[in-house]
Amino acid sequence: MDNSRGAPIPANRVTAGRQSRALGVASMMPLDTAEELRQALEEHGIKADVHDGYGLALVSVWVGLVVWSDGERFWWRTGWDARRRRFVYAWHPALDPRRAARRIAFRYANLRGNGSLPELIAESMS
């Protein structure tokens, strides 16, 4: 990782909003990565809200599409595994918010395209 002058940033220092992690891997603060993702989603014409607290940040994109960030990665629900009775998640490194936004934009289009709003919301809209 380089700073603005091209010099390497030591992974064990806190520099320009970055925090140190185990194994010398530097990562962004969760709120910073969530905001970068929000901006990248805007490039796809998708408006989203960012919320933070308790060491995580959330990007609220659409009904049933919330993206979490811990500063190292983004993750979001992609479906339900009926056999295991648990949600299925996708994840993407937080250092690449543009590609993550592209993947999330596909999920967003899928959710909007199938028109499946939760019952309570669908009832309130009718």
Question: Which H or E element spans position 78?
Answer: strand 73-81
10 Cβ contact partners less than 8 Å away, ≥ 6 residues apart: none
Contact 125, 117 (CB under 8 A): yes
pLDDT in the model for residue 117: 58
* Residue ranges of domains in the chain: 28-125
Q: Report which of residues 89 and 124 the model is more confident about.
A: 89
DSSP state of 71: S
Query: Chain centroid to CA 81: how far?
Result: 21
In the block, tokens 């919320």 appear at 51
Three-class secondary structure of residue 50 per DSSP: strand
Distance CA 87, CA 65 (A): 12
Angle between helices 97-113 and 30-42 (to 10 degrees): 60
Tens digit of pLDDT for each residue in 41-91? 999 999 999 999 999 999 999 999 999 999 999 999 999 999 999 999 999
pLDDT in the model for residue 116: 59
